[in-house]
Amino acid sequence: MSVLPFLDVALALLVVGLAVWTIAARDLFASVVGYVAYGLLLALVWVRLYAPDVALTEAAVGSGVTGVLLITAGKRLGAARAGEAGPSPGLALKLFAGALALLVAGALVAIILILPDPAPSLAPQAAAAADGPGAGLGNPITAVLISYRSFDTMLEKVVLILAVLGVWSVGADKAWGAAPAPLGRRNPYGATVFLAQMLAPVGAVIGVHIFWVGADAPGGAFQGGALLAAMWMIAMMARITEPPRVDARWLRLALVAGPAVFLIAGLAGPLMAGSFFAFPHAFAKPIILFIEAFMLLSIAVALPALVAGPPNGRSE
């Protein structure tokens, strides 16, 4: 009798409990904090599902960067009066909506329990392709992301560009071109500065490491990029560095580097390997790492840009 099932159940209860807290908390800020904790614990669930890559992504993006984003927003909105968003719905509506949500969740549970057995899987095909289009990458997730379903990944990078532009576009007209508002307070606390000075270099190294091993072990451009992004954000919070101006050419180049290189590589596919988004088997791994390197850069720049928000014309 292993102790693991009990841990699993405890973890599940904790995760659901924090989710309930996130929904039920009266205070906006408390709800946000609950969500961040929830995200961290969820990463553990992913570990238990044999999904370390997802766990890393969830911890870094789903909980970490999203956490900063939401906490910042919650802090700015928290000062505002309650009830400004409109009245809370009545009890009857609450009961009705709750019943419907319960029904949907119930249906989902029922369906999950009758998922076909044996489960259909593309794992055999992915395994078979590992030495072909998979380029001998030890991490099948990376092979899926950069080779088999590279098209999804490239589009997702385009989505990130659009999101950045969308966030910027929310700013004021006259502020265009300027930098977003600083992430930290005018006189950062010593502890913040200390943390940034200590953590950022180490974190950056770890980020690059995670990216580098991603070809064969859990990790990759997403996770590494998210870590780099986090380090940059810490540095910005400590005012060691400031958010860049949105019209900075280097920033724009960095943002598009990933998708641009991806797109060019995809377009070159017919010349290299006879098909768009195909890579010649002999050079597949270096090409993939090359693409990933630029994606790392783009992610590392895009996530902080998304958190920093639209350009801000006012000087603090």
Partner 1 sequence: MMPPDPTTPGGALLVLAILLPCAGIILSFVLGGRNAERVALGLTPFGFALACAIAFHVASAGKPIVYALGGLAPPLGIALRADGVSAVMLVAAAVILTAAGFYARAKFATPEGGPESRSALTFWIMLQAIWAALTIIFVGGDLFNLYVALELLTFAAVPLVCIDGRPETLAAALRYLLFALFGSISYLLGVALFYGAYGTLDIPLLAQRVQSTPIVWLAAALMTGGLLAKTALFPLHLWLPPAHANAPAAASAVLSGLVVKGSFFLTLRLWFYVLPALSAAGAANILGALALAAIITGSVLALRQARLKLLIAYSTVAQIGYLFLVFPLATGAHVWSGIGWSAGVMQILAHAFAKAAMFLSAGLLAEALGHDQIARFAGAARALPMTFLTLGLGGLSLMGLPPSGGFSAKWLMLQASVASGQWVWTLPVLAGGLLAAGYVYRILTPALSEGDIMLKAPPKRSREAIALGLALIALALGFAPQGFFDLLEIGRPLAAGTLQ
Partner 2 sequence: MSPWVLAGLVGAALVGLGLYGLILHPHPLRKLLAFNLIGSGVFLVFGIVARRGAAAGFSFDPIPQAMVITGIVVAFAASALAVALILRLHAESGRVTLDPEAWTKPDDGAAKS
Partner 3 sequence: MSHLSSTLLVASLAAPLALLAACFVKNWRPRALALQWLAPAPGLAAGLLGLTAAPASFDLPGLGFTLRLDPPGALLLAAASLLWIVVTAAVWRERAPDERFGLSWLLTMAGSLGVFIAGDLVSFYLVYALVSIPAYGLFAFSDDAEKKRAGAIYMAFAILGEALLLLAFAALAAGEPHGSSRIADMMAALPASPWRDAILALIVAGFGMKMGLIPFNGWMPLNYAAAPIPAAAVLSGAGVKAGVIGLIRFLPLGVPLQGWGEALAALGFLTAIYGVLLGLTQQNPKTILAYSSISQMGVIAAALGMALGAGDISASGDVAFYAANHLLVKAALFLTIGALAMRGAPLGGWTLALAATLALSLAGLPFTGGALAKLASKAQFVSGWAASLATLSSIGTALLMTHFVARLDAPPPDAARECPSALVRFWPAVALGAILLPWLFFPAFGYVSKALEIAKIWEGLWPVLLGVGLALGLRRLGWTAPRVPAGDSIVLFEGAFTRLLALGPGFETLDARLRQWPAAGVSLLLIVLALLAAGVLG
Interface with partner 1 (CB under 8 A): 107-108, 110-112, 114-116, 119-122, 124-126, 128-129, 132-133, 147-152, 154-156, 158-159, 161-163, 165-166, 168-173, 176-177, 247, 249, 252-253, 255-256, 259-260, 263, 266-267, 269-270, 273-279
104: left (phi over 0), alpha (psi -120 to 50) or beta: alpha
Q: Which residues contact 50 (CB under 8 A, 6 or more apart)?
A: none
Nearer to partner 3, 97 or 205 (CB): 97
Nearest residue to 218 via CA among 139, 306, 313, 132: 139
Nearer to partner 3, 106 or 280 (CB): 106
Q: Could you give the string, one character per residue 37-66, with x where binding to partner 2 holds by CB under 8 A and - elsewhere?
A: -xx--x--xx-xxxx-xx--xx--xx--xx
Nearer to partner 1, 62 or 203 (CB): 62
Question: At 216, is the secondary structure helix, strand, or coil?
Answer: coil
CA distance linking residue 177 with residue 247, whole number of Å: 5
Question: Structure tokens of 78?
Answer: 């928290």
Nearer to partner 3, 103 or 267 (CB): 103
With beta carbons less than 8 A apart as the criterion, state whether 285 and 136 touch. Answer: yes
Nearer to partner 3, 1 or 82 (CB): 82
| The entry of partner 1, partner 2, partner 3, none that residue 177 binds, CB within 5 to 8 Å by partner kind | partner 1
Q: Residue 19, interface with partner 2 (CB under 8 A)?
A: yes
CB of 53 to partner 3, least distance (A): 31
| Helix segments in the chain, DSSP class H | 4-24, 28-48, 52-57, 66-78, 91-113, 123-129, 140-143, 150-169, 190-213, 221-237, 249-273, 284-308
CA distance linking residue 230 with residue 165, whole number of Å: 20
CB of 91 to partner 3, least distance (A): 12
Question: Residue 166's CB: how many other CB atoms inside 10 A?
Answer: 12
Q: Residue 286, interface with partner 2 (CB under 8 A)?
A: no
CA distance linking residue 128 with residue 292, whole number of Å: 23
CB of 297 to partner 2, least distance (A): 15
Nearer to partner 3, 1 or 92 (CB): 92
In the window 92-121, what residues touch partner 3 (CB under 8 A)? Answer: 93, 96-97, 100-101, 103-104, 107
Nearer to partner 2, 15 or 237 (CB): 15
Angle of the 150-169 helix axis to the 249-273 helix axis, nearest 10: 160
In the window 164-193, what residues touch partner 2 (CB under 8 A)? Answer: 166-167, 170-171
**Which span (73-81, 243-251, 253-261, 262-270) binds partner 2, by CB under 8 A?**
73-81
